[in-house]
Structure 1
Amino acid sequence: MSNLLFEQAKPILQHIKSQGYEAYFVGGSVRDYLMNKDIHDIDITTSATPDEIESIFSKTIPIGKAHGTINVLYQDEAYEITTFRTEGDYDDHRRPNDVAFVRDLYEDVKRRDFTMNAIAMDENYHVIDYFHGQQDIAERIITTVGEASERFEEDALRIIRGLRFQAQLAFHIETNTYRAMQQQMSHISFLSIERIVVELKKLVQGQHVSASFENMKQLKAFTYIPFFQQSNMDSITITEPISFNLFIAIIQVKQSTELSLAQLKISNQEKHTIHALSQLMSEIGELQSKATLKRIVYDYDMKLLLELVTHRTLLEANQIKLPSPLIFNKATLAETAKQLPIDTRKALAVTGKDLLAHLQQPSGPWMKDILRKIELAVIQGEVSNCKTEILEWVDNNV
């Protein structure tokens, strides 16, 4: 465990306090520090208002000033500083109608989600823990600050966050907290899919995802989330950390009807990877020959192939067939890739222009088909990657 990030940010807290205000580290960074985990980013909370923070520091960015958050630039780092605040009513289970700035730390932390995230710490590593968060960390319990039903009524994303923390930390969810999750799960239908996907990506990559994923199913969380609503999630088993892309690809492969990735509002690159994984899993089960292995290694990104090798046990638990480990393993894949004469179509010794000139035909869909046949012939060793030999092969075989 390193406290380097806290040490680097310590002058910020000291400067705020020198101006007569309170300032503390708070949230996940404090939780992780107390758990001897690596810290990746820190949040600072203060009694100073956004206007006061802007007057204290010369370099600031008002990223969320209306809600109390200012970014302070210090020694080439940006630090998120948020004013102590209370929140008004929540009408949509997503965000408060208004916030009010306060000068009392207790009033600020009592609105937070879980006790383990409601711990503050000053620059001297003195902990302020109003809600027994340290005890809950020691006992490995996820429990809300105050009444669970109220916290989840305010922001339903806290339900998914709680399950995500379970996957990441191997904590168990306190009984009343779990019961409130069950009672208010339908409220996650008010959330944007983007916010849910952010949490699901972390959840399925958690080192202890198995119990959390089973809870997601037991709580019927997926019935309120677009895309997953159309999936038979009870048939999906996740027993080890996997990428979100592989998770979605497994769901796609197991469904009898095609699901729209557009519902997830993910990037085009992610959609492309999921489609490739789905297609690969659909093809790979029938792999029995070296010729087919060559084609698959040529056609697919090695990272995707290795991902399937790594998660063989999980895929088989989901009734996704893989070839024998004797022919589908890391060593065989690496050796096959090494032996391929080309790695992309661009490496072919002929181009579309060469074919047009040689065959003296107008361009058309036939061009793509012939280039594909040439690719396969080259990687299978039927013809050398030599322009003259390829054109001769075309005359005799196409």
Structure 2
Amino acid sequence: MAIYETQSVCPPQDRFLWGDTRYHKKRGGGDLFSIPDGVRQVLGRLTGLGFEAHLVGGCVRDLLMGREPHDFDVATSALPEQVKCALCGLRVIETGLRHGTVTALAGGQAVEVTTYRVDGGYSDGRHPDSVRFTDELTQDLARRDFTVNAMALSPKGELVDPFGGRDDLGRRLLRAVGEPAHRFEEDALRILRALRFGSVLGFAIEADTARAVHECRALLERVSAERIAAELVRLLCGQDAREILLEYPDVLGVFVPELLPMVGFEQRSKYHLYDVYTHTVEALAAVRPVPVLRLSLLLHDVGKPETFTLGRDGAGHFYGHALRGSEMARDILRRLRFDNETVDTVCELILSHDIPIERSERAVRRWLGRLGEKRLRLLLEVKRADNAAHAPGVSSRAQQLDEVESILARVLEQGACFCLRDLAVKGGDLIALGIPPGPGLGALLQKLLDAVIEGRCQNERDVLLGYAEELRSQTP
């Protein structure tokens, strides 16, 4: 068995407590993060039979940072079959038995348990071709991506940190374990994970690791679209997304090449002080970290380079960029395998982001009829963030958006009808008047809704039926 140095996890005033039933980290306010019962049960089963068992990876990092872990991973000296025996009576799923991994369900908690291992080659650039089990924890930690994820914590509260992960946490630094390029060649997704960790944790990326991120970026072509999309969304919603996006557009350009023409593209407009890409990033950083909002801002001006024209006065124009951007965004999001709801919402927001909303109840009702309340509210957020990234003091639309939001609140409070679902008559009512089912019936319902939205007709059944008869009589 390898001998390795351990250290106390925290200084005395901020120590982890491990007992028969608790494993907590004290926080400034006195509240505690607790290791779930199911995790303690798994650790106890393994150590009770004489095996080593440690918490590893992201849960250790999060505990040291004072963050509540969402997932708990355990590494153990027990071989997979021994793990299954130790966890007898619990539900055990053979999620990756070939690589030494099982998932135990204990106390409502899913705990991934992996035997200490050394990985073989990575011919596909994503997964090891083979693994060799070992009884040395440090060898297992050596195969991991970044130093802050290459620490282990024993049930006694001892930290195993052979690569200086705790010091890097203190410096808020993301550094690859070993040679960065080698780590990325093993698993190309680590390139995007580096950016995601930098964004979410607010860490700087160490110089050699950052250099390798740039140099190895083409390896991302090996990664599936679904994995790219998942990492991208988390990156975009991170606290330091702005800094990462400004520093690494070449990396994003591997899987969204449509972003690259935006970099350095001058807008030549008094309304803009940034190039298209920088404006995009500044707008993205100004909106809430909600996936559809961040994706919408990332792509809202993607159509600008293709639609640029220069006026006689030397000013730049981007006529039709919202329509073109919506079309391009649909291609991008489908390529990355986003779900239909996300694709449709983002494309609708991009298509509408540059259309002014008249400050009147009639206009707001029409927008509600077109988008619905949820999407209209999202659109207002997109517009506000886009405006925040314009040149200061030049045609600010913030006050106009405030007025639109006030009108929206008033319209909704009045219970205004803005969709067919809220209309006081239904298709069956019109059929009873003798109007046959079919496209004409749907068109008539839409005309009735338009009349209600525009205030030409009250949303009352008898009134609407009378108006329907009037429209019917006008039809040749």
Q: Is the Cα contact below 8 Å between 2:41 and 2:106 reproduced in 1?
A: no
The correspondence for 1:375, drawn from 431, 449, 472, is 449
2:403 corresponds to: 327
The reply to whether residue 316 of structure 1 matches residue 387 of structure 2 is: yes
1:229 corresponds to: 257
1:33 corresponds to: 63
Partner AA of 1:276 in structure 2:
E
TM-score of the two chains, using structure 1 as the length reference: 0.90
1:292 corresponds to: 363
1:210 corresponds to: 242
2:173 corresponds to: 141
Q: CA deviation at 1:377?
A: 1.8
Partner AA of 2:157 in structure 1:
Y
In the aligned structure 1, how far is the partner of 2:430 from the partner of 2:343? 33
In the aligned structure 2, how far is the partner of 1:252 from the partner of 1:288? 27
Go from structure 1 to structure 2 and tell me whether the alpha carbon gap of 1:13 and 1:342 turns closer, same or farther (over 3 Å shift).
same
Q: What's the secondary structure of 1:328's corresponding residue?
A: helix
1:356 corresponds to: 431
The correspondence for 1:239, drawn from 285, 290, 293, is 285
Q: What's the secondary structure of 2:220's corresponding residue?
A: helix
Q: Is the Cα contact below 8 Å between 1:222 and 1:229 reproduced in 2?
A: yes
In the aligned structure 2, how far is the partner of 1:125 from the partner of 1:293? 59
Matches within 5 A, 1:2-151: 2-5=32-35, 9-58=39-88, 59=90, 60-151=92-183
Q: What's the secondary structure of 1:63's corresponding residue?
A: strand
Q: CA deviation at 1:242?
A: 3.0
Deviations 1:212-231 (A, max 9, x none): 111221xx012211xx2234
Go from structure 1 to structure 2 and tell me whether the alpha carbon gap of 1:7 and 1:54 turns closer, same or farther (over 3 Å shift).
closer
1:337 corresponds to: 412
Matches within 5 A, 1:257-296: 257=324, 258-259=327-328, 260=331, 261-283=333-355, 285-296=356-367
Q: Is the Cα contact below 8 Å between 1:186 and 1:224 reproduced in 2?
A: yes
Q: CA deviation at 1:279?
A: 4.1
TM-score of the two chains, using structure 2 as the length reference: 0.76
RMSD of the TM alignment (CA)? 2.4
Gaps of 5+ in 2: 1-26, 264-276, 304-320, 391-395
Partner AA of 2:86 in structure 1:
I
Mean Cα displacement is larger for which, 155-164 or 66-75? 66-75
Q: What's the secondary structure of 1:349's corresponding residue?
A: coil
Gaps of 5+ in 1: none
In the aligned structure 2, how far is the partner of 1:292 from the partner of 1:275? 21
Partner AA of 1:42 in structure 2:
F
In the aligned structure 1, how far is the partner of 2:462 from the partner of 2:381? 42
In the aligned structure 1, how far is the partner of 2:70 from the partner of 2:108? 16
Q: Is the Cα contact below 8 Å between 2:435 and 2:441 reproduced in 1?
A: no
Mean Cα displacement is larger for which, 25-34 or 239-248? 239-248
Q: CA deviation at 1:146?
A: 0.7
Could you tell me the percent identity over the aligned residues?
A: 30
Q: CA deviation at 1:307?
A: 3.2
In the aligned structure 1, how far is the partner of 2:167 from the partner of 2:82? 35
Q: Is the Cα contact below 8 Å between 1:378 and 1:384 reproduced in 2?
A: yes
Deviations 1:164-187 (A, max 9, x none): 111111111111111111110111
Q: Is the Cα contact below 8 Å between 2:151 and 2:161 reproduced in 1?
A: yes
Q: Is the Cα contact below 8 Å between 2:150 and 2:165 reproduced in 1?
A: yes
In the aligned structure 2, how far is the partner of 1:377 from the partner of 1:110? 69
Q: CA deviation at 1:80?
A: 1.1
What is the number of equivalent residue pairs in this alignment?
391
Partner AA of 1:325 in structure 2:
L
2:218 corresponds to: 186
In the aligned structure 1, how far is the partner of 2:293 from the partner of 2:285? 13
Go from structure 1 to structure 2 and tell me whether the alpha carbon gap of 1:322 and 1:278 turns closer, same or farther (over 3 Å shift).
farther
The correspondence for 1:163, drawn from 195, 205, 228, is 195
The reply to whether residue 388 of structure 1 matches residue 462 of structure 2 is: yes
In the aligned structure 2, how far is the partner of 1:377 from the partner of 1:338? 20
